[in-house]
Amino acid sequence: MLLLHGGVGSDKSKLEYLNSKLNDYAKVGSASASPLENVVNAVVKMEDDEDFNAGTGSVMRIDGSIQMDAAVMIPGDFGSVIAIERVKNPILVARDVLEKSPHIMLASDGAVKFARTLGYEEYDPSTGKARSRLEKVLAELRSENAGISSNVAHFKKFVNSTQFVEGSCDTVGAVARMDGKFAAAVSTGGSSPMMRGRVGDSPVLGAGIYCGPKGAVVATGIGEEIAKNILCYRTYAKIGSKPLKEILKEEVDSFGQTLIGLIAVDKDDYAHYDNGSMAVGTNNLEQ
């Protein structure tokens, strides 16, 4: 089975539309007998879709650049790219880190050089939508209006108004189980307010992603909080102690009002839970 999410905090009025897309992407991503291949293929579809904050749909950092994070994991192995730029599909480069490099993480210009060495072409993921969102938030940051959002007000206390941007915090992710084998994948254009070089939970082992012999877990939401709590490993460690849905609810609820979502599979079940609006899709090809 293959379970996808399109990020927590989605527009509720678009949820049915996004769920339908993810169901279609889950079907496309289920063609292989390899769970790793399936999660990667599904995430590629989401990275190529401007409706999701990953790949071509990525948000801009405050300087107008796009730096993306992605990771893949199977039991016993892991690969991720951090703050990679100017590639079309970061998830494919993350898989190559796992399969073709002696490392488990590559960052920034090193990740880009690795991708170019393997033949990944130069690609500009910026879109008109991303530029419009950045311009709108920069205007708010520069405003003296007392009604600006709490995040903007908070960061204005510490930094110049050209260093942060408020926007999306969503991610895309996938977990799979086939013939008792598991895999997980995650990709994001980042969370904001966001300085250049900021790293969230997605490419960090155990934070935004974890996969082992008991199952696979992927998170979405406020990356700093997810990472500080090592959310995906913490969730994974509880697998088998109670029904999977209960585990996910317990973990998400522990964050209070902080926006969090989880998807997971174990040997018997699959589940998702969030405290916001999270698009999900599945094609349950149970073995």
Active site residue 171: yes
Looking at the DSSP bridge assignments, the partners of residue 80 are 71, 105
Q: Which pairs with CB-CB distance under 8 Å and at least 24 residues apart come from 232-239? A: 232/206, 232/207, 232/208, 232/262, 233/205, 233/206, 233/207, 235/210, 235/262, 235/264, 236/210, 236/211, 236/212, 236/264, 239/214, 239/215, 239/264, 239/266
Catalytic residue (one of 56, 117, 171, 188): 171
Report whether 42 contacts 4 (CB < 8 A): yes
CA distances from 163 to 159, 168, 200, 230 (A): 7, 16, 17, 27
φ, ψ of residue 239 in degrees (nearest 5): -60, 130
Report whether 248 contacts 264 (CB < 8 A): yes
Question: Residue with structure tokens 């990679």?
Answer: 84
Residues with a known catalytic role:
171
